[in-house]
A and B are shown apart, each in its own frame.
Chain A
């Protein structure tokens, strides 16, 4: 059977858990910032709409946090359950950020509880806003620390191995590995971007459905503006990531770009398919662009897959993940830019159905880009779990029950996924903005 191999099953279970967790984690990192901004704008402009926005987002957010917390707990334990040999080695070197992540999470958990249950307890909304600062900081720092752990796996350093013994461990050296700055920045920026576009997509959906309330228009404009800023930041950092890869992990960049021969003036290959003889068909080639992406110089030489043995080469299908991620990223920047300029200039088409439909698509697309990006980076360091040091095969558990656990977890995630959708729909459908605004304003007058 397919699942009899613990290495394969462990890989599948890990990718399943992480892909599912990534959805909730992205919301978990990004949305608190949006809530904070909305509440801050609401206080500043003394505008009830923004305060309500913060409140409604927070209500939905708690549901996703719950699933994020439990799937995060799952992956935290699965690291040790599925990859005991890896954790034994890595625990010696990279435990510090892992430990700090828990503190960040702790911090966030405490203040989220306080924020959610003190809406009416402070006369001054500014005090209440203060509780959101540790929530968003905690969320962003969780992402920060856990991505450090991941970047260590891509660029392990901070220790020496002499005769199979681990010596000279330097925890800070392990943290400040070369992959860290670009990876952390990219993860945090994309989380903010995705959260913004998701909330924009909800607002656009409401407008599309016929509600013409100014609340949704304000929400849409605010989130598209934030999304524009972070999608541009994402692209800039993505360029830095390319330069990091060229320098430190050339095999990943080469596989992602189907760059087989080491050469200068390297073109960037977008889309296309690969036939059995490794010929690229139907692809778009942008001359010099890969050299620019890799080294900032159109003539620079880019290392190709010919420099690596078959064993060290990542799977070539990561190219498709790269395409998906980049294409969506570019599309979102353009969409947000057109919308923003359109609002400023009063272009009529941005209020038309088809354009709003594109914005509705933006949220799900951003999530697809997040998943594709993670698959690119994770499959792109195959066969290694610790690049150059330990393969995934050496790291996996020897237990024979992983296949069964994989099935159980798949069922669990299915239930949680459906549950989230059903609950979130019910939460907002039964309580539309119009009615909530009426209740709140009515309540204040009486």
Chain B
């Protein structure tokens, strides 16, 4: 395996990690706001807060890791994406900033302001939308070179059905992932009301998710023929992903084994995410930037990979400790020892 492939795989895994933990976080914010507005706050808020409080900062790091890593492994991405993403990137930062700081302000001091909770939920949906624009841009067709500088065509991006499908998919995925996770988490706490409510949301969002996912593949067949064909070559990954999706929905429908259901969901997204990533190969920004012409020098690549392995040796046990203390600790999830 070449260093380029290792590099992009590492980053793709971390991006996947962010997609999962970020979705849980963003969706939780939305469900929290929705439950306040619909008067069901007493059912959900406690559970959501109990999960989010110790991990919100960790979620953020997955994101930082990805964008620092991609500039490290593929410095040219800074040139192409840095220039083109100024506006969507800045908007995402501002939303993240409002969300992150507000969360701490709210949790650690004053509680229960309706307007804030609403903002928090809304920004949680806008962030994935603004970040997922990158995926549309990477398909090519929205960036042109003017005087050797990449320029983003906002009108084309705004009018494109592809970019809107990606935005819709990211939002439905956020809500679906989050709902399935919270169903499981609520079930762990032994809170039947919350479990039932989250189960309802999970089933509600399952259908639009699969519709938009199929829609995007259809759009791609017009937008980027080459990419579409590579996706067809990997049809088995997507088929397997679909199978796991059916499994998750079935388990939730039957109120059986929510833990396994969440596991299947992770598998489903892993397959689809990697299927998409592999079919995108070798382009980072079609057709200007491939992973080969943007890769860093060998000395840096090797040292980054060494640091990455050492870093993981530190991180994985710590993450395990965090999960053990807060996700699988019976007393904690049930609200004893919560402070």
Contact = CB atoms under 8 A, between A and B. Distances in A.
Contacts of A92: 75, 296-297, 300
B86 A106 contact: no
Given A73-B60, A95-B71, A62 B104 contact: yes
B83 A397 contact: yes
A113 B164 CA distance: 36
A84 B90 contact: no
A105 B65 CA distance: 10
Interface in A81-130: 81-85, 87-93, 95-96, 98-103, 105-107, 109-114, 116-121
B172 to A, nearest CB: 25
B97 A71 contact: yes
Contacts of A59: 108
Interface stretch (B32-40, B206-214, B232-240, B315-323): B315-323
Interface in B288-335: 296-297, 299-300, 303-304, 307-308, 311, 314-315, 318-319, 321-322, 325-326, 332
Contact of A103 (B84, B300, B315): B315
Interface stretch (B51-59, B218-226, B257-265, B275-283): B51-59
Interface string A181-223: 0000000000000000000000000000000000000000000
A416 interface: yes
Interface stretch (A266-274, A300-308, A398-406): A398-406
B101 A70 contact: yes
A116 B102 CA distance: 18
Interface in B85-134: 85-87, 89-90, 93-94, 96-98, 100-105, 108-110
Given A85-B79, A106-B58, A405-B90, A98 B68 contact: yes
A77 B93 contact: yes
B286 interface: no
A66 B300 contact: no
Interface residues of A, number: 74
A351 interface: no
A177 interface: no
Interface in A64-83: 65-67, 69-74, 76-83
Interface stretch (A40-48, A331-339, A419-427, A438-446): A419-427
Given A66-B100, A399-B83, A73 B93 contact: yes
A81 B64 contact: no
Contact of B86 (A88, A405, A416, A420): A405
Interface of B is mostly: helix
Contact of A423 (B105, B326, B338): B105
A67 B68 CA distance: 19
Contacts, number: 219
A36 to B, nearest CB: 18
A109 B110 contact: no
B5 interface: no
A69 B82 contact: no
Contacts of A74: 93, 97
Nearest to B317: A110
Contact of A80 (B53, B54, B82, B100): B82
B67 interface: yes
Nearest to B299: A169
A59 B80 CA distance: 42
B2 interface: no
Contact of B300 (A62, A67, A169, A405): A169
Contact of A95 (B60, B61, B304, B311): B304
B83 A398 contact: yes
Given A171-B300, A397-B82, A427-B109, A107 B314 contact: yes
A66 B104 contact: yes
Given A88-B78, A100-B311, A120 B296 contact: no
Nearest to B146: A398
Contacts of B97: 70-71, 73-74, 412, 416
A73 B63 contact: yes
Which among B80, B96, B299, B337 has the highest number of chain A CB atoms within 10 Å? B299
A102 B299 contact: no
Chain B interface residue bracket vs A: 35 or more
Contact of A87 (B55, B71, B93, B100): B71
B73 to A, nearest CB: 8
Contacts of A118: 325
A16 B57 CA distance: 23
B58 A399 contact: no
B214 to A, nearest CB: 32
A349 interface: no
A106 B72 CA distance: 17
B109 A69 contact: no
A408 interface: yes
Contacts of A111: 318
A63 interface: yes
B28 to A, nearest CB: 16
Which among B58, B76, B104, B332 has the highest number of chain A CB atoms within 10 Å? B104
A166 interface: yes
Given A92-B75, A92-B300, A111-B318, A73 B82 contact: no
A116 B332 CA distance: 13
B254 interface: no
B82 A170 contact: no
Nearest to B149: A398
B237 to A, nearest CB: 30
B339 interface: yes
A172 interface: yes
A114 B54 contact: yes
B69 interface: yes
Nearest to A24: B101
Given A110-B319, A409-B90, 13 more contacts: A62-B108, A66-B103, A70-B93, A70-B97, A73-B60, A80-B67, A82-B82, A83-B82, A87-B78, A87-B82, A99-B304, A117-B326, A416-B97
13 contacts: A62-B108, A65-B57, A73-B63, A79-B78, A84-B78, A91-B74, A95-B71, A95-B296, A96-B303, A100-B307, A103-B311, A397-B83, A427-B108
Q: When A and B form their complex, which 5 residue pairs have the shortest distance between CB atoms, in order from nearest?
A: A91-B75, A66-B104, A95-B72, A84-B82, A87-B78
